[in-house]
């Protein structure tokens, strides 16, 4: 079996040990973003729309609902605090793609991919306009992104992709010299620069700025208010849904409340769905991240990166990285981990093996930064579905809508998902609700123990492909044929 560049060019153990000395298990984005506090729901109430979840899906849904109809009463319920889960832990890449990349989109939705690509660009443009027009403090930078080739076979992949772009694209293939002139790493053999289809953003600031915009628009936000159950039994369609919550009051005593909602939008991401029908459609996969201390001017000069694009290599098990506003490097990805039973637990966020592997790969990528330290390490669970991109739907006579399964590409796509949910709840057909992407569902994952066996077999096969010049074995080709997949 062949080796990858990260095995051929390993840094010294001393370099890695030094870099990880004193690294804290904490989410940089959440520490760095000013936080507001919102009350806990302790008394029953009613609303035209209840949004469950205080991450990007829920926040965009609440904000857009008020923009569509300022007179509509909207309540947002968050089990913990605004943006604490995936929305505050991601890499901060806002991509135009709604389909997790062109290849995935063309394969799964060949008849409408061009339309989806245009809708995705429109969505990213509108998101940027919202950040600008509402003056959201989110460190937004529309610098595009670069797919990197770090193995010879990946150069040809990117060259082929550059030759297949649609008329609206301004993607540019970069040969080795051009790539090195953009960002310097001994691992880079080429790149594909998506000049207008990507941006970077501060995830924590974006979530909390969206929450303030919601509150300013009249949305009632409640934190520390988990939703236990959605009840429609005994209620007519016009009466809506009883949203049962539970929490603790200021003395610590448990308390329960109910919100009578005409409509409900679920932005629950990786957590067990309040609709049982959806529970096998996603699995939680843990993704690991490191954040460096701010780079000095000399360190920045050593790597170039003047364009500040988001970067990601082209392997099946890939890395993603970007600069923060204060010139730290976030470096994550590669080692996606599924735990038996599909549980979401705090203990899974601490995995020394994964963080050390990321540190090794970081210094393979940028050996000239030897001596740099990592200040933060963390992890988060991704709501992975078998088609790699979000799916949507409604239930209980269109009283409840949901959008799930973003598979790690939801920073921008959640805004599109919010629009879809509001369209579905309106009861009217729209351009979005007529999409095959919206009307179809992914293949559900099997229950345990088959799920764990399958996911781990997929991880092994993807790693094997990365060690064999990207060649996919019979197992991967079979999974491709039936529409099941798994990726980091």
Question: What CATH number does the domain containing 156 carry?
Answer: 3.30.9.10
Q: Which of 294, 281, 322, 207 is nearest to 447 (CA)?
A: 281
Yes or no: say if 409 and 95 are a contact pair by the CB < 8 Å rule.
yes
Give the pLDDT score at 251: 73
Phi, psi of 47 (to 5 degrees): -160, 155
**CA–CA distances in Å: residue 316 to residues 1, 59, 90, 400, 470:** 16, 31, 19, 36, 8
Give the pLDDT score at 420: 98
Same domain, residue pair 313 and 357? yes
Yes or no: say if 198 and 307 are a contact pair by the CB < 8 Å rule.
no
Report residue 309 as tokens. 């694009």
- Domain residue limits at 64: 33-101+204-280+387-439
Same domain, residue pair 14 and 62? no
CATH code, domain carrying 416: 3.50.50.60
| Helices 413-426 & 56-68 angle (0-180, nearest 10) | 50
Q: Which residue has the tokens 């950040």?
A: 131
- The pLDDT tens digits of the residues spanning 270-319 come to 999 999 999 999 999 999 999 999 999 999 999 999 999 999 999 888 99
Give the pLDDT score at 486: 55
Give the pLDDT score at 283: 94
CA distance linking residue 80 with residue 225, whole number of Å:
7
Give the pLDDT score at 488: 47
Yes or no: say if 382 and 336 are a contact pair by the CB < 8 Å rule.
yes
The conformation of residue 82, written as its DSSP 8-state character, comes to T
Yes or no: say if 402 and 230 are a contact pair by the CB < 8 Å rule.
no
Same domain, residue pair 228 and 308? no
Domain end among 439, 455, 476: 439
Let me know if residue 95 belongs to a domain. yes
Same domain, residue pair 303 and 323? yes
Domain end among 357, 381, 405: 381
Let me know if residue 272 belongs to a domain. yes
CB neighbour list of residue 217: distance below 8 Å, 6 or more residues apart: 63, 66, 67, 70
Q: What is the number of other CB atoms lying within 10 angstroms of the CB of residue 198?
A: 24
Number of H helices, E strands in the chain: 16, 20
CA distance linking residue 127 with residue 415, whole number of Å:
8
Same domain, residue pair 188 and 301? yes
Work out how many domains the chain is built from and give that number.
Answer: 2
The pTM of this model reads 0.94
Give the pLDDT score at 484: 67
Same domain, residue pair 319 and 368? yes
* H-type alpha helices, 217-255: none
Same domain, residue pair 301 and 268? no
Phi, psi of 225 (to 5 degrees): -130, 80
The conformation of residue 195, written as its DSSP 8-state character, comes to S
- The pLDDT tens digits of the residues spanning 401-436 come to 999 999 999 999 999 999 999 999 999 999 999 999
Same domain, residue pair 276 and 304? no
CA distance linking residue 203 with residue 335, whole number of Å:
21
**CA–CA distances in Å: residue 273 to residues 31, 103, 227, 269:** 28, 29, 11, 8
Let me know if residue 210 belongs to a domain. yes
Let me know if residue 64 belongs to a domain. yes
Residues of the chain falling short of pLDDT 70: 1, 165-168, 250, 484-488
Our CA angle for 55, 60, 66, nearest 5°, is: 130
The kind and range of the H/E element at 419 are: helix 413-426
Report residue 368 as tokens. 């000239």
Let me know if residue 140 belongs to a domain. no
- The pLDDT tens digits of the residues spanning 96-139 come to 999 998 889 999 999 999 999 999 999 999 999 999 999 999 99
Same domain, residue pair 173 and 289? yes
Let me know if residue 459 belongs to a domain. no
**CA–CA distances in Å: residue 154 to residues 66, 190, 195:** 45, 8, 19
CA distance linking residue 271 with residue 52, whole number of Å:
11
């Amino acid at each position: 079996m062949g080796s990858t560049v990260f095995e051929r060019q390993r840094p010294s153990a001393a370099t890695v040990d030094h870099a990880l000395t004193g690294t804290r298990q904490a989410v940089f984005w959440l520490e760095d973003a000013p936080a507001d506090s919102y009350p806990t729901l302790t008394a029953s109430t009613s609303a035209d729309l209840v949004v469950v979840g205080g991450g990007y899906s829920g926040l965009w849904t609440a904000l857009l609902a008020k923009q569509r109809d300022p007179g509509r009463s909207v309540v947002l319920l968050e089990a913990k605090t605004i943006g604490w889960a995936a929305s505050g832990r991601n890499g901060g890449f806002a991509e135009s793609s709604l389909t997790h990349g062109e290849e995935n989109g063309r394969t799964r939705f060949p008849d409408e991919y061009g339309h989806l690509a245009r809708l995705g660009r429109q969505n990213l443009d509108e998101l940027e306009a919202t950040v600008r027009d509402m003056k959201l403090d989110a460190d937004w930078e529309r610098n595009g992104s670069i797919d990197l080739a770090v193995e010879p076979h990946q150069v040809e992949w990117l060259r082929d992709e550059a030759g297949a772009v649609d008329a609206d694209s301004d993607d540019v293939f970069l040969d080795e010299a051009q790539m090195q002139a953009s960002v310097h790493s001994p691992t880079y053999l080429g790149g594909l620069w998506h000049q207008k289809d990507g941006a970077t953003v501060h995830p924590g600031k974006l979530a909390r700025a969206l929450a303030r915009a919601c509150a300013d628009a009249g949305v009632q936000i409640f934190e520390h208010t988990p939703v236990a159950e959605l009840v429609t039994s005994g209620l007519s369609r016009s009466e809506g849904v009883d949203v049962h919550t539970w929490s603790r009051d200021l003395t610590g005593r448990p308390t329960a409340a109910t919100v009578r909602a005409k409509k409900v939008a679920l932005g629950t991401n990786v957590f067990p769905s309040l609709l049982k029908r959806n529970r096998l459609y996603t699995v939680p996969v843990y993704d690991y991240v490191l954040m460096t201390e701010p780079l000095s001017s000399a360190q920045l000069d050593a790597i170039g990166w003047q364009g500040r694009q988001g970067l990601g290599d082209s392997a099946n098990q890939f890395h993603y990285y970007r600069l923060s506003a204060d010139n730290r490097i976030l470096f994550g990805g590669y080692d996606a981990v599924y735990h038996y039973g599909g549980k979401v637990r705090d203990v899974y966020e601490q995995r020394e093996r994964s963080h050390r592997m990321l540190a090794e790969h970081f210094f393979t990528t940028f050996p000239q930064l030897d001596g740099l330290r990592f200040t933060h390490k963390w992890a988060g669970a991704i709501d992975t579905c078998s088609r790699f991109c979000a799916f949507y739907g409604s239930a209980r006579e269109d009283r409840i809508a949901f959008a799930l399964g973003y598979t790690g590409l939801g920073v921008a796509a959640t805004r599109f998902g919010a629009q879809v949910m509001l369209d579905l709840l309106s009861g009217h057909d729209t351009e979005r609700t007529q999409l095959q992407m919206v009307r179809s569902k992914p293949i559900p994952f099997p229950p345990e123990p088959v799920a764990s066996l399958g996911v781990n077999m997929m991880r092994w096969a993807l790693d094997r492909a990365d060690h064999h010049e990207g060649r996919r074995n019979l197992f991967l080709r079979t999974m491709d044929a039936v529409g099941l997949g798994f990726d980091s």
